[in-house]
Amino acid sequence: MEITVRVFGELTETIGNRHTITLEDGANIRSLTRRVAAQTGQRRQGYLGEYRIGGNELAILLNGRNVELLQGLETKLRDGDEVVLMIYTMGG
Amino acid sequence: MKGWNGKLLRVDLTKGTTKVQEYSEDLAKRFVGGRGFAVKLLWDELKPGTDPLSPDNMLIFATGPLTGFIIPNSGKLVVAAKSPLTGGYGDGNIGTMASPNLRKAGLDAVVVTGKAEKPSYLLIDDDTHEIRDASHLWGLDSYKSEAKLKAEHGAASGALLIGPSGENLARIATVVSQEGRAGGRPGMGAVMGSKNLKAVVVHGTKDLPAHNPERLSELGRKGFQVITGKDNYKFWKRQGTMATVEWCQEAGTLPTHNFREGVFDYAPDIDGNTMAAMTIKQRGCHNCNMNCGNVITDTEGRESELDYENVVMLGSNIGIGDLRQVGTLNRMCDELGLDTIGAGSCIGFAMEASERGLIKEDIAWGDFEASKNLLTDMAYMRGLGATLGLGTRKAAEVIGGGAPSFAMHVKGLECSAYDCHLCPGMSLSFGTSPIGAHHKDAWVISWEISTGRREHYDEDKADKVIEFQRIRGGMFESLVTCRFPWIELGYELDYYPEFIEAATGVTMNLDDLWALGDRIYALIRAFWVRERGGAWGREMDYPPARWFDEPLTRGALKGQHLDRERYDGLLQVYYDRRGWDRRGIPTRATLEGLGLAAEAARLAEHVELG
């Protein structure tokens, strides 16, 4: 299945702003983020740039819903899903 | 006292007099500066029930003990008064060269009372304090006025001004400076206008004594280095606060069509990426290396300094998806001296009233020309603008017919640019902000969304609101340094007690600074309660009804809305933590514990204390 990943905020500095990721059926958010980390050459395990995968600072949205409101990193993916990775800091 | 000059300037415009007054060490140590000074002076000296636009209101400009030293992001001052928009405590901070100049003129604050017979400006040039004729400036926009004043008094001076909005007493008029800096959303510009005071020009050349100048200089130098070395500095420099458009859209919190929805079809056309491709230069305050003002060229070829709040309130909130058009509206607000947030909210309110047939004017969502006309009309208080210029709360009362249900304000101050249909924590922040619905104090929305518990009303949301109110609304607003190095780049708070000690010789740890925040919050609340003659209840701390009663109809958050009962529960947690009673009034014990026993006794003359 194919998943579209869009990246917002300063994370684009380290991993770019858009990826299309092909995954085996039954994959979840955890396997997706691992694949993104591998494809973008992240050295620190469990991190994208400075941000821990599953940590509070890195938000992961699946079709607009924060995965924390779903099953977190275990949330299952389906073909055509859109995942957003973003850092919520800049603002006011 | 070192660090503090220990002096404030009293100006009586009715009598035409100025007088330098020494203030007590107690005021310096217990209230520090900026907002702390402002609320203490207003509490002590303003007669309860004073008409905010009468000569008796006090207009205060206050710096802090770090102002004027070479310390990161310290080029600001606080402007405060009783608000003609809300009827309660009003203030704002503004980046201006008037701030370091005031300190180098040997002063920490200026308190203006009375009303000049004719348009005037105040000149402070070291020990010269003069009230001068401003007939040649009255009626001019803030840019032209400032240019004339700078030509006369030199480029090194700083100026605080009003535009036509302040002159005509628009209740959403701000004080402006340097073509794009503005402060005092709750109508501080109208207070200035009511005094016939067009501008305050400040020039100072004196040495500013510090307790330990070498240490302070070393700390300051290091501070600038730490900030530029932060990982996210590069990205911040590119987009500044405008990066927020993108994440608010994704999170469904981007105010759209008068806060009816949280997503906007044309958000990518007004976001930080679009802006970054158009930016021609950046501007910032004195002593800042995080320039947050990104300048683009607007539809008329003029420069417009953008940031998040302005762009959203004058963009998606009124249905405009063209950044250059937004730029024009933003620049017009700065010239006219209108609050960009309040103005965007008033226009959105008018568009919705038009759609509902509650007003005769035909103003469609996204109508750029109509928006320009409304800005001018609000500034000159004419036509529909004369009603809108009173702010959405009052305008809704005048228009009637259900209009109050879509007037987006708390306590009369229009909401900043965050839709809170599914943000109980940020709603609590707007609800309990000491000036009405502003984001300056507890900007918890980023934290709230990133925790992934948005729809929850957990107690830690009240704790987070209080934590931010202490840091941002207490410490930063009293030191009068900018919150951005900390909130945006993670510049450590531990530096601030070190700055204070090096500047003043006074030891204040972070706990002392949190107590300062609590003291200020309690006194501001006491001021509000006193002004309302004790008529105060917890409903004053509720966010706009729309977020409870009208679910979102679009986007991933479709169907979502706040829950009134659960919000009320969260509010109670907040009161319990603060030591305020069920009405939201600090108890006598709380006031006394914060060193406000005398204030408690005076408050008890107006309301029974719990």
pLDDT beyond 90 at A90: no
Q: Best interface-test mutation with B: which of A11, A71, A73, A88 has the largest number of B CBs within 10 A?
A: A88
pLDDT beyond 80 at B452: no
- Quote the tokens at residue B129: 């304090």
Spell out which residues of chain B touch residue A61, defining contact as CB-CB under 8 Å.
250-251, 556
The arithmetic mean of pLDDT across residues B516-540, rounded, is: 97
The arithmetic mean of pLDDT across residues B348-363, rounded, is: 98
Q: Quick one: pLDDT at residue B474? A: 97
Q: Quick one: pLDDT at residue A14? A: 87
pLDDT beyond 80 at B23: yes
- Quote the tokens at residue A19: 């990826």
In this complex, the residue of B247, B453, B555 whose CB is nearest that of residue A86 is B247
Quickly state the pLDDT bin for A17 (edges 50, 70, 90): confident
Cβ proximity of B62 and B480 under 8 Å: yes
Q: Is A36 exposed, middle or buried (0-12, 13-18, 19+ CB in 10 A)?
A: buried
Cβ proximity of B413 and B174 under 8 Å: no
The arithmetic mean of pLDDT across residues B505-516, rounded, is: 97
Q: Quick one: pLDDT at residue B512? A: 97
Q: Is B567 exposed, middle or buried (0-12, 13-18, 19+ CB in 10 A)?
A: buried
Which residues 61-90 in chain A show a CB within 8 A of chain B? 61, 63-69, 72, 84, 86-90
Quick one: what percent of chain B has pLDDT higher than 70? Answer: 100
How big is the CA angle at B96 (ends B510 and B410), to the nearest 5 degrees?
65
- Quote the tokens at residue B204: 């100072």
The arithmetic mean of pLDDT across residues B357-368, rounded, is: 98
pLDDT, tens only, B61-78 = 999 999 999 999 999 999
Domain boundaries, chain A: 2-87
- Quote the tokens at residue B4: 């503090």
* Alpha-carbon gap: A63 to the closest alpha carbon of chain B (Å): 7
Cβ proximity of B304 and B295 under 8 Å: yes
pTM above 0.80, yes or no: yes
Q: Does the beta carbon of A5 lie under 8 angstroms from any beta carbon of chain B?
A: no
Phi then psi for B131, rounded to 5 degrees?
Answer: -100, 120
Helix residue spans in B314-402 (DSSP H): 323-336, 340-355, 368-380, 384-388, 392-399
Cβ proximity of B108 and B6 under 8 Å: yes
Which residues 240-269 in chain B show a CB within 8 A of chain A? 240-244, 246-247, 250-252
**Residue type at B160?**
L
pLDDT, tens only, A27-85 = 999 999 999 999 999 989 999 988 899 887 788 989 878 888 889 999 999 999 999 99
In this complex, the residue of B252, B446, B455 whose CB is nearest that of residue A91 is B446
Q: Quick one: pLDDT at residue A88? A: 76
- DSSP assignment of chain A equals -EEEEEEEGGGHHHH-SEEEEE--TT-BHHHHHHHHHHHTT--STTEETTEETTSSSEEEEETTEEGGGTTGGG-B--TT-EEEEEE-----
Q: Quick one: pLDDT at residue A87? A: 81
- State how far the alpha carbon of B470 is from the alpha carbons of B73, B101, B433, in Å: 19, 28, 11
Judged by CB atoms closer than 8 Å, whether chains meet at A50 and B231 is answered as yes
* Alpha-carbon gap: A22 to the closest alpha carbon of chain B (Å): 23
Judged by CB atoms closer than 8 Å, whether chains meet at B450 and A57 is answered as yes
Q: Quick one: pLDDT at residue B488? A: 86
Q: Does the beta carbon of B454 lie under 8 angstroms from any beta carbon of chain A?
A: yes
Q: Best interface-test mutation with A: which of B244, B250, B476, B558 has the largest number of A CBs within 10 A?
A: B250
Quickly state the pLDDT bin for A13 (edges 50, 70, 90): confident
* Alpha-carbon gap: B456 to the closest alpha carbon of chain A (Å): 10
Q: Quick one: pLDDT at residue A86? A: 86
pLDDT beyond 90 at B311: yes
The arithmetic mean of pLDDT across residues B1-14, rounded, is: 97
pLDDT, tens only, B570-597 = 999 999 999 999 999 999 999 999 999 9
pLDDT, tens only, B386-403 = 999 999 999 999 999 999
Say how far apart CA B141 and CA B162 lie, in whole Å: 8
pLDDT beyond 80 at B13: yes
Q: Does the beta carbon of B584 lie under 8 angstroms from any beta carbon of chain A?
A: no
Of B345, B338, B333, B264, nearest in space to B544 by CA: B345
* Full set of structural domains in chain B with CATH: 7-203 (3.60.9.10), 242-411 (1.10.569.10), 425-603 (1.10.599.10)
In a 13 Å sphere around the CA of B26, the CA atoms on its Cβ side amount to: 5
Q: Quick one: pLDDT at residue B227? A: 93
Q: How many CB atoms lie within 10 A of CB B64?
A: 32
Q: Which residues of B582-599 are buried (b: 16+ CB within 10 A; e: fewer)?
A: ebbbbbbebbebbebeeb
- DSSP assignment of B21-42 equals EE--HHHHHHH-SHHHHHHHHH
Cβ proximity of B409 and B346 under 8 Å: no
In this complex, the residue of A64, A68, A86 whose CB is nearest that of residue B453 is A68
* Alpha-carbon gap: B576 to the closest alpha carbon of chain A (Å): 27
pLDDT beyond 80 at B189: yes
- Sheet hosting strand A58-62, strand order edge to edge: A18-22, A2-8, A82-87, A58-62, A65-66
Say how far apart CA B178 and CA B196 lie, in whole Å: 21
Q: Does the beta carbon of B555 lie under 8 angstroms from any beta carbon of chain A?
A: yes
pLDDT beyond 90 at B534: no
Cβ proximity of A1 and A23 under 8 Å: yes
**Cβ neighbours of residue B315 under 8 Å, at least 6 residues apart?**
B264, B270, B321, B323, B326, B344
CATH number of A2-87: 3.10.20.30
Spell out which residues of chain A touch residue B447, defining contact as CB-CB under 8 Å.
56, 88
Say how far apart CA B510 and CA B516 lie, in whole Å: 10
